[in-house]
Amino acid sequence: MPTPQTYQIYLADVSFDGQHGAKYRHALVMVPHVGSTRIYKITNQYHNKSSAVRAVYYPIREWQAAGLKKPSYVVVHKTYIVPTNQLVQRKLLGVLTDMDAVRLAEFIVQYQSQIRHLSE
């Protein structure tokens, strides 16, 4: 079984925040591992969110180069753990460009206090 790589984008069954159930959605691999992989959710829902929530949405600037069909955002307030074997059974959709990977890392550091506040 292949192990996903950091910044690759897959479809993953990601649980809802504070609710039962899950939804297949775009997922950005952050910490790949053989048994389980830590991911961030990717969404294209931005404009209907509050400014506090939008503050932790990183806009993927080169979304088409990353294999996405719409302008999209990495939701960085919380990571999720998904089984690696379920992740890699689905098609690899794409990968963040180097520029977006660097800017995402800078975004996470810059907004760390806001991320901590929203995840509590």
Strand 8-15, strand 36-43: pairing: unpaired
User: Residue 30 pLDDT > 60, yes or no?
Assistant: yes
d(CA 42, CA 45): 9
pLDDT digits (tens, 9 = 90+) for 32-57: 888 999 999 999 988 888 887 888 89
User: Residue 118 pLDDT > 70, yes or no?
Assistant: no
Q: What is the pTM of this model?
A: 0.85
Kindly give the interhelix angle for 112-119 and 98-110, rounded to the nearest 10 degrees: 70
Q: Where are the domains of the chain?
A: 8-119
CATH annotation of 8-119:
2.30.30.110
pLDDT digits (tens, 9 = 90+) for 56-115: 899 999 999 999 999 999 999 888 999 999 888 888 999 999 999 999 999 988 877 655
The pLDDT value given to residue 1: 63
CB within 8 A of 54, min separation 6: which ones? Answer: 46
Put residue 116 in one of left, alpha, beta given phi > 0 → left and psi -120 to 50 → alpha: alpha
Residue holding tokens 């990977």?
101
pLDDT band at 116; cut points 50, 70, 90: low
